[in-house]
Structure 1
Amino acid sequence: MQYPSLIFQPNSVPTSVSLWDAANIFKYATSWFTAIWLALDKSQVSQTSSFRRTFIRHLVWEAETFVFPYINICATSNTSLALPEYLNGVVTMLTHWQVGIVDDNGLFRLFHTHQFNMAGDLMVCYQIVSNYAYSWWNDQFDVHLFEMPNHVPVEEVIQLYKHHMQQLPAAYLLLPEMHRHDVGPDPLLTNLWVIKDNLGDLGAQLEQCLSSKMQDANVALKAMTTLEGLVDDLHDAIAASQQLLDGTGSMQELGKYQ
């Protein structure tokens, strides 16, 4: 499967971010926003107005540093990339705050009272790990000021999500790294090629799955055929035994009358 690179040249220095990178960054962002929500949900600190205001300032910094730039990268490259469900909800909340639909208290309430529509363990489903960079939510941020950098370079963000993947169980590490190709002059055509690659990969996976199922079915059919022969032999043996018993019974009845 191939994913195009999104090429940028800030200060004439080219920087490449692939769609695969962006998707992983959004997945990583979903994980740490969930970790923030869990920390807030378990926190015993009094949620004063100062606490809520400081929390929102940090939450907005998270989005402006690790989420919005990569949404903008996709948008300015005329590339559409879906956000994970929870991250999409967080971005919606933050957008409402940005345009004045809700204030700090409203944003805090929306984030804090969000209900996850899912089954299973939250930490497993959202791949929560032990260590996050810039994990201000674990350091009494309402008492000790957290130094928030103005920006985090793309290269560092990519390394952060790779470090995040390394902390996950070994099964996640078996996922292959995707091939990449540079974006062409026509973004729409590039996206069509990505869709074609996705469909081709999906078709190959389905073909492999069907082939495996057919092999399993053939094995099961052979086993059933073998069992069918054994069952037929058993029926024949039972029928022969019944005939023998019937013959013996008839002979005994005949002996009574002689």
Structure 2
Amino acid sequence: MKKIMSLILSISLALSISTVAFAEGTDTTETTQTTQTTQSANLTPEQQQAREAYLNKHFDDMNQLVTLRQETKEAVDANNTVAKKIKDAVKAKTTLNTDNVSKLKDLASQRKTLVEQVKQLNQQRISLRSQYKEAVKAKDVDKMKSIEQQILDLNNQVSSLKDQYSSIKTQVAPLKDELKNIKDTNSQLKDSVKNQLEQAKAIGETIKSQEKEKAQLWNTYKENIKNKDYQAAGTTFQAILNKKASILDNIKKRGTILNQVLTSLS
């Protein structure tokens, strides 16, 4: 299929049909403007000679372009697959246990309620103590006994609430320890792959810069064809191929790093 497409492209150019639009493909984000190749009859002898030399090499160049595109697509797809696996692996390792989080929230709510209840009981005890002092002054023995019993009941209630509070505290401790361990693991995990991820990011930025440079080369190539400068067109096209090969190499390097990260997370 690659050879057929390359052959069609070369034949099209030989028949003075524009191949610039197809050659660019997805290699430039700018709107493709079709540039008609001037009929050989309208060329000077020097231009005709340069054009023939250009066409003789262009078949192989187009073959290389198609191959580079296919390999680039495969490399990008592979990187995207690994990147998704990394994301899923990180999520699986760093997600807090939702059951434990829910339990902690529920226990915290219970503990808060207990604290409020103890506060209310303490207020009642304070009030009863004031009443007890008044009963002592009035030498009201029956009232004193009644208040003493009420205070005793309140003390028992407070003691019971404190026991419940201690029980909750005992339940909270291991849950907090587990969550802390998960967070510590998350931190260690991030540190272990931090350098690799930074390398992958740096290569990604390099690729972006190279893509911009390649887009500019395509613009130059179109101008070369438009100006019938086939010698320059051949040189520019080779520069495009070199740039694509360099981009592909960086994509593969980034893939190697991403695979290393995935291995670290396994």
Q: Fold-level match, TM-score > 0.5?
A: no
Structure richer in helix, relative to its length: 2
| Structure with greater Cα Rg | 2
Structure richer in strand, relative to its length: 1
TM-score, scaled relative to structure 2: 0.25
